[in-house]
Structure 1
Amino acid sequence: MRSNHSGYTRLTKAHKFSAAALTAAGAAAVAFGAASHAVAAPAPVKPVAWSAEAFGQAQDAERKDAADKAAEQARAEAAAAKHTAKTKAEADAKAKAEADAKAKADAKAKADKDRAEKQAANRSTTRKPLSKPAAPAPKAYGNDLEGWIAQALDIMKAKGIPASYDGVKRNIMRESTGNPHAINDWDVNAVNGVPSKGLLQIIDPTFKAYHVEGTSWDIYDPVANIVASCNYAADKYGSMDNVNSAY
């Protein structure tokens, strides 16, 4: 700074710049202070403009998300149902196996008990000897010519001696007319001391020679007389049926 003669101070160029700077700085400070006390207004929000394509894409995304959630839930429910069914099936199978085992054990126990009771009953029961079957009642024959011939034919059948009812009766009627006590006292046999006797007029030696076991030894017994006489005729003529006269 320099002083003129008039006593005033003259500002140099440097002084001018300094003053300007100070003036600007003060203005800035005043402006900053004022600004610090003012409230800033909010910036206006600009609405987003949606295109049709963007809107469709958003809807598709929402639907896909919902479908994915539904599918996931369905899979979870199916897995839970499968697990429940498996658990129930295992429980049912176990219960059935236990029931079958119990039934088998009960059946075995019952069979063992029944067997033991049966064995005990068998041991305690006195067995009675088996009775022989009753012998058939003897066949009844009439005490007449028909009955005698019938009985004689049964005996001869058992012994294998051939003869028929007609052949036997025919010869009886010719020889004795059915009289079991008939005796011939006039023919050659009577002359020789061995008269013919009985229904079929047989002599004693012949009767004894052709007697059939199981019959009477009495020559006048009608059945014994018939059987012995037929036995003799079978030996000599093949059968009493072949005899048509004295024999």
Structure 2
Amino acid sequence: MKDARGLHVGLAAIVAVAAAGYFSGVRGTERGVAELRGDPAPPSASVEARSYADMRERAHGPNAGMYEGAFARLEAADADLYAPVEQSEADREAALERRASRRAYDGAPPTIPHRIEQLGAPDCLSCHERGLRVANLTAPRMSHRRYESCTQCHVVGADPRPLAETPPPPDNTFAGMASPRRGARAYEGAPPTIPHPTLMRSECASCHGVHGALGMRSTHPYRQSCTQCHAPSAELDQRAPRPLSAWPPPSMGADRP
């Protein structure tokens, strides 16, 4: 019984040694053939350990240099953002007509000029919360504070998909007021007043910023406090204008001795 067990152990050892020799020979033959052919040596699997100080000071890996010169490239791409704006009256009229074509009346929320997912919450904020420009397409920044239910006010206009049928608009005899073309000036050379209501339009850069349409773009976008010079219209904001005799108001100390 013991002789049979020893025989089995010996045979297993012989098989193991033979297998190890076989695979070692195959690998050695492959290395020899690769050397004869002049193939490059395979990379070593060992990686040199880095210190924490080295990890803090510089990046490593294949993407280590991905941000080198990134800010310079951004500055070069946006070098003309604050260049002098050259626009004509025709540009302004074209921009106003294009703006009016997406609204049912002056002051109405604009329609959505692209397809969205109607069954779920649209990802409008990913592009319109801060504004986005890709090639020649511009997603304007929201002109109002952040609201989550965008389709409560904005609806899709004509379906932009090929061969898609857009349902006809409902019968409606309502005719809204036309949008004022220009703001009034107190005197020649004075800043014009804002020619539209300011409700839901507190973010002026949405239309008049550096990515605004030619004709509506501000000629001085580097000035950020717009209402410091351009006053809102009391009539368009549906407020009773304050007569000059009432200035300064009591809050400014007119009733103080």
- TM-score, normalised to structure 2, is 0.23
* Greater C-alpha Rg: 1
- TM-score, normalised to structure 1, is 0.24
**By percentage of residues, which structure has more helix?**
1
